[in-house]
């Protein structure tokens, strides 16, 4: 499991949080990766050597602003190498996969390269993270890629969204390339800067909980309801207490209601890039937020009350 953590056990503002569980969901180990600023983790895959490849975004390292952040670990989650990719503006990476030649393919979007605005950003690496090529796809609008797969012919299929190309609303946008990343569809070459980064690792004692219930520091419990994650360091079963918030409707459109909050709580809403787009104080145990100006996509709602933090993901249609 991969995500981001922001608490006293982090190296910086927020770090990438990687958890390995057994087949029953019992936590085997936790790792943190990051620097003195913010890192966000979006994709993790197991590699053919039994280790893991994970990607996200970093503000601590790279050429400037957010850069794509790639970390290779062994089977125990210990770092073998890590690299950054991008330019002086913002570059985001949401998906990574190992390719048939033992290398890696990454995708996301870039403000640095392409036709303007945000463009699809496709990066091909060898097995050591060395850049082989990078491409952009898009018009002078907003194109954002969220996933990539290698196809049976050795090429790649990239999926995401666009609000341009003559369309009146944000629409699904898929690009098919050959093995060298060529598609002929609003294509450009990206002059990607590759950087290294220190091996910054933490091993926090954390309990990850879905649905608001937890029992001890090595147990993961799914109790249904909203897709929520509550994390904190605990000393044992005597610390058991229940915390949850409910969000509805999910997916939402013009309004979103939260219940289970309190008058002492703070609500933060983050978009998929990690930007905090809204912060407000809860004034009762139920609050309704107007969301008609939110763009379609996935959002993270973070509810904090003292040392308690609950994260819930919701989808805007």
Give the C-alpha separation, 92 to 219, whole Å. Answer: 32
- As given in the structure block, the two tokens for residue 203 are 């091993």
Tell me, which fold does domain 208-316 have in CATH? Immunoglobulin-like (2.60.40)
pLDDT of res. 186:
67
pLDDT of res. 9:
43
pLDDT of res. 34:
79
Which residues of the chain are under the pLDDT cut of 70? 1-13, 114-116, 164-169, 186-191, 193, 196-244
pLDDT of res. 61:
82
pLDDT of res. 156:
95
Give the C-alpha separation, 70 to 104, whole Å. Answer: 10
pLDDT of res. 183:
86
Give the strand pairing for 255-259 and 286-290: antiparallel
Expressed in angstroms, the distance from the first to the final Cα of the chain is 25
Contact between 307 and 232 (Cβ < 8 Å): yes
Q: What CA–CA distances, in Å, run from 296 to 68, 306, 317?
A: 23, 31, 5
**All residues at 6 or more sequence positions from 1 whose CB lies less than 8 Å from its CB, including other chains:** 18, 19, 20, 21, 44, 208
**CA 30, 56, 102 angle in degrees (round to 5)?**
90
pLDDT of res. 133:
92
Domain ranges of the chain: 2-196, 208-316
pLDDT of res. 309:
80
Burial of 130 (0-12, 13-18, 19+ CB in 10 A): exposed
**Full-prediction pTM beyond 0.95?**
no
Give the strand pairing for 117-125 and 141-150: parallel
């Amino acid at each position: 499991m991969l995500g981001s953590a922001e608490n006293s056990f982090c190296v910086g503002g927020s770090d990438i949080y990687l958890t390995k569980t057994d087949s029953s969901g019992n936590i085997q180990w936790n790792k943190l990766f990051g620097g003195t600023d913010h890192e966000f983790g979006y994709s993790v895959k197991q590699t053919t050597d039994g280790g893991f490849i994970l990607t996200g975004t970093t503000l601590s390292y790279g050429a400037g602003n957010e850069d794509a952040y790639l970390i290779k670990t062994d089977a125990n989650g210990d770092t073998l190498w890590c690299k950054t990719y991008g330019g002086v503006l913002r570059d985001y990476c949401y998906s990574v996969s190992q390719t048939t030649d033992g290398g890696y393919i990454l995708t996301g979007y870039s403000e640095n390269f392409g036709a303007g605005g945000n463009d699809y950003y496709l990066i091909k690496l060898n097995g050591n993270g060395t850049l082989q090529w990078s491409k952009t796809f898009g018009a002078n609008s907003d194109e954002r890629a969220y996933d990539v797969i290698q196809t049976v012919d050795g090429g790649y299929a990239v999926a995401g969204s666009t609000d341009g190309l003559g369309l009146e609303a944000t629409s699904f946008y898929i690009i098919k390339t050959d093995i060298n990343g060529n598609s002929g569809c609003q294509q450009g070459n990206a002059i990607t800067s590759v950087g290294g980064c220190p091996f910054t690792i933490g091993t926090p004692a954390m309990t990850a909980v879905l649905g608001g219930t937890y029992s001890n520091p090595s147990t993961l419990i799914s109790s249904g309801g909203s897709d929520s994650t509550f994390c904190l360091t605990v000393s044992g079963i005597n610390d058991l207490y229940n915390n949850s918030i409910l969000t509805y409707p999910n997916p939402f459109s013009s309004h979103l209601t939260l219940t289970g909050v309190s008058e002492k709580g703070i609500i933060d809403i983050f978009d998929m890039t990690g930007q905090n787009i809204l912060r407000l104080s809860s004034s009762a145990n139920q609050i309704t937020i107007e969301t008609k100006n939110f763009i379609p996509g996935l959002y993270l709602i973070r509810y904090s009350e003292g040392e308690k933090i609950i994260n819930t993901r919701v989808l805007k249609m």
